[in-house]
Amino acid sequence: MTAPLLEVKDLVKHYTLPRERLLAAPPVVQALRGVSFTLQAGRSLGVVGESGSGKSTLARQVMALEAPSSGQVVFDGQDLNALDAAALRRARAGFQMVFQDPFGSLDPRQAVGRIVAEPLVAQGGTDRAEQRSRAQAMLDAVGLRASDVDKYPHEFSGGQRQRIAIARALVTHPKLIVADEPVSALDVSVQAQVLNLMQDLQDRLGVTYLFISHDLAVVDLVCDEVIVLYQGRAVEQGSPDRLFSAAAHPYTRALMAAVPRLQPGRRRVPLAPVPPLPPLPAGATGAGCAFAPRCRHRQPDCLSRQPLLRPVGDGLAHQAACHQAEAVLAEAVASESS
Identify the three-state secondary structure at position 137: helix
Say if residue 288's pLDDT is above 90: no
Q: How confident is the model at residue 187 (pLDDT cuts 50, 70, 90)?
A: confident
Which pLDDT tens digit goes with each residue over 162-171? 999 999 999 9
pLDDT at position 185 is: 79
Say if residue 100's pLDDT is above 90: no
Q: What is the DSSP letter of 118?
A: H
Say if residue 36's pLDDT is above 90: yes
Say if residue 147's pLDDT is above 60: yes
Q: Domain spans of the chain?
A: 43-67+78-234, 246-258+287-338
Write the DSSP assignment of 182-244 as a string of letters: TTTTS-HHHHHHHHHHHHHHHHHH--EEEEE-S-HHHHHHH-SEEEEEETTEEEEEE-HHHHH
Give the fold, CATH level 3, of 43-67+78-234: Rossmann fold (3.40.50)
Q: How far apart are the first and last CA of the chain?
A: 39
Give the predicted TM-score (pTM) of the model.
0.88
Give percent above pLDDT 90 in the chain. Answer: 59
Q: Which of 21-30, 195-204, 209-218, 329-338 has the lowest mean pLDDT?
A: 329-338
pLDDT at position 286 is: 53
pLDDT at position 285 is: 47
